[in-house]
Structure 1
Amino acid sequence: MRILFVAIAESVHTARWLSQLSGENWDLHLFPSDIGTTPHSDFRNLTINSFFKGRLLGEQSGVHRTGVYWPFRRGKGRIKLISDRLAPNTATESARLARTIRSLKPDIIHVLEMQSSGYLVLEAKRRLANFPFPPCIYSSWGSDLFFFGRQAQHDKRIRAFLAECDYYIADCQRDLSLTLEFGFKGKTLGVFPTAGGYDLEHMRQFRQGGSSSSRRVIALKGYEGVRGARALVAIQALRMVSDLLTGFELVVYLASDEIRATMSQLSNIKGLKITVLPYSPHDEFLKLMGRSRLAMVSAIATGPPMPCWKQW
């Protein structure tokens, strides 16, 4: 079985989804839809087909890289821009993806997320008008349909992409009906978390003993403006109940610059300790969830937030 994934390579969600298949001895390939980023370190046993060939993640990981070797820290963006302008039929991402599909002849193409990855697949398919295109599975992420589907500039592209999909995997029940509203006529395979799932036995070791009501930590996801994220609203809510926060610690993770600048608004709340968690290994995040009384994720459009799965 040869599967070509088209997805955001730096995302931990992509890495965890693919990790479910890393032991199947299948021929797994990833075409990154995010240009110039570093693939996540959790990838195992696959080939990453990117424009630039970077360093391997370690021999034990079984990860192979294709592309142009560029040893310098700078210059990738300029080289890619010049290549796209001089050779639009060969160097652009849609042209490269079309060429990759034609070369690999995958049994299945699996698209994780629509706006970066799905639109790219749609462009590549248009370049392969006379080529037998493989069956396409689309796994949606929380904001794909509910957030972008309400924006006029995305409506036609969403409908066009879904019309080319054969199978659909939702990350929440809400999006099942949304795909039908946007014209999807393929087969639905079920509802599964964006990241695929979690090792419950591994997670249990991080659960703090005693009742959850005895905990004194509030975990806040610090995204603002990213696909509808609204951490500022959560901060405003905490200010409204400041008299109840004495003795609590607020731990902010994945804090954007805007949120870091706003943390001063909470610094005058008496008895509230504020900690900004730096980028950390996943187990550190599980430890945070295991000792938190409350996990806050504020957004105007998403699916089930990943921290909620971990908190549960």
Structure 2
Amino acid sequence: MKILMVAIPNHHFFQWVNQLKDSGHEIYWFDITDGGPKVERINWVHQIKGWKQRFNFPFRQGLKSKMPRLYKMIQKIRERDTKVVFEKIIEDLKPDIVHCFEMKLAGMPILDILEKKDNIKFIYSSWGSDMYAYQELGLSKNEVESFLTRVDFLITDCKRDYKIAGENGFKNTFLGVFPGNGGIYFEKEFIKETADRNIILIKGYEDGVGKAIKVIESLELVSSNLLKDLKIVVYSADLKVKKRIEESSFLNSLDIKILSRNKFISNAELLKIMGESIIHVGNSISDGMPNVLLESMGMGAFPIQSNPGNVTEEVIKNGINGFIIEQPLDNLAIAKLIENAIKNIELRTSAQEYNTNFIAENYNRKHLQKSIVKLYEKVLFNKN
């Protein structure tokens, strides 16, 4: 089987596609953004890169900053049209399946070609805020309905987005709910007992959707007696978050570490930190099923997570195996959740047992691999 993947360069995509290694299928990846060199971690995949620019020219960055209008004119001549390139790839490869990851960036640019090539089976994987906040991402309802009409097979990372797709005209085959990264691999030896954990772990996105600064503000309302013997780690921290922490005399009196968003941290290293964490806090106003939420639960950290579109309720029973942030902009409410979680070791112990078992049963990477490989076989032989 010949499968053409269409996606931006993304950690979760790389993890998903690696589930197909040694499956016997020919896998191609059209890098829709043509960003960066070939990706070594998926070096077994046929990577279609270097397609965007017809030619290079010297002093490009200087021209871009000093003469932006001239730069744009040159770019129009210099850049190849995505649709033209993609159509040529389709004609040359003749793939059995096209699988698109994410709608706006990866799906919409190739929709016109796929509408012409309606004999090719088309899978779409919805990610993050893809379906939930399509209007905020700049897509109209008509555009989404046109896209979903062409989609033959749908995968989502939560139940919520399957419902939203149905409300926007999707009527074909739903392949199921899968984590966007194809599953999680857990190092059990890194999962510490509840009493041996000493880290408060915070996702540091502050990008309009991510609201990490509200979590940082909430820490300033937590009793210093609860925090003084703990480590605080803020990972994937945006510059605004880093600056806010550095400006806080209270936070700088604590043992706090910032891992910047632009600094690479391996997934294995992050899982190890999660295995040492008392709690993991993720706060946003729009998302799908966050992979880091599932990872932190699987590594035994008590989850405190926002609930856009009620998606978090699919895995967290509030007050039983985690806390749901009902008001992501209310730093006092978040502070109370953090305090309650730190104080209640019995709750965290029972939640850890439940969560590690639940995630291992439902999101284990090894278990999901067979299902993901079979998924493509189902698509190929489906008459949809």
TM-score of Structure 1 vs Structure 2, range by shorter chain: 0.7 to 0.9
In structure 1, the residue corresponding to 2:140 is in which secondary structure?
Answer: helix
Q: 2:215 aligns with which of 213, 234, 254?
A: 234
In structure 2, the residue corresponding to 1:183 is in which secondary structure?
Answer: coil
Letter in 1 for 2:24: N
- Residue of structure 2 equivalent to 1:3: 3
Cα deviation 1:21-62 (Å, max 9, x = unaligned):
011121100011223334544214111112359xxxxxxxxx
Distance in structure 2 (CA, Å) of the matches to 1:35 and 1:242: 49
Matched-pair contact (CA < 8 Å) for 1:31–1:48: yes
Q: 2:140 aligns with which of 151, 154, 159?
A: 154
Letter in 2 for 1:233: K
Distance in structure 2 (CA, Å) of the matches to 1:109 and 1:115: 16
- Residue of structure 1 equivalent to 2:167: 181
- Residue of structure 2 equivalent to 1:50: 49
Q: Give the stretch that moved more between structures: 13-22 or 213-222.
A: 213-222
Runs of 4+ in 1 over 3 A off after TM superposition: 37-41, 67-75, 80-84, 149-154
Q: 1:171 aligns with which of 139, 148, 157?
A: 157
Matched-pair contact (CA < 8 Å) for 1:149–1:158: no
Distance in structure 2 (CA, Å) of the matches to 1:106 and 1:276: 44
- Residue of structure 2 equivalent to 1:96: 85
Distance 1:162-1:39 versus aligned 2 partners, 3 A rule: farther
Quote the sequence identity (%): 29
Distance in structure 1 (CA, Å) of the matches to 2:24 and 2:54: 27
Distance in structure 1 (CA, Å) of the matches to 2:296 and 2:73: 46
Matched-pair contact (CA < 8 Å) for 1:4–1:31: yes
Cα deviation 1:169-213 (Å, max 9, x = unaligned):
11011111100011111110000001010223xx212212x22x5
- Residue of structure 2 equivalent to 1:295: 280
Matched-pair contact (CA < 8 Å) for 2:207–2:238: no
- Residue of structure 2 equivalent to 1:220: 202
Distance in structure 2 (CA, Å) of the matches to 1:71 and 1:86: 12
Distance in structure 2 (CA, Å) of the matches to 1:216 and 1:242: 16
Q: Structure 1 residue 144 and structure 2 residue 130: aligned?
A: yes
Distance in structure 1 (CA, Å) of the matches to 2:268 and 2:57: 32
In structure 2, the residue corresponding to 1:241 is in which secondary structure?
Answer: coil
Structure with a larger share of its residues in helix: 2
Q: Quote the offset at 1:17 in angstroms.
A: 0.4
RMSD: 2.9
- Residue of structure 2 equivalent to 1:259: 241
Distance in structure 2 (CA, Å) of the matches to 1:251 and 1:35: 33
Who wins on radius of gyration, i.e. which is larger?
2
Q: 2:98 aligns with which of 100, 109, 118?
A: 109
The number of residues matched between the two structures is 286
TM-score (norm: length of structure 2): 0.67
Q: Give the stretch that moved more between structures: 106-115 or 36-45.
A: 36-45
In structure 2, the residue corresponding to 1:276 is in which secondary structure?
Answer: strand
Matched-pair contact (CA < 8 Å) for 2:38–2:49: no
- Residue of structure 1 equivalent to 2:310: none
Q: Quote the offset at 1:81 in angstroms.
A: 6.3
- Residue of structure 2 equivalent to 1:63: none
Letter in 2 for 1:302: D
Distance 1:150-1:36 versus aligned 2 partners, 3 A rule: closer
Q: Quote the offset at 1:109 in angstroms.
A: 0.4
Q: Quote the offset at 1:92 in angstroms.
A: 1.4
Q: Quote the offset at 1:6 in angstroms.
A: 0.4
Q: 1:85 aligns with which of 76, 85, 106?
A: 76
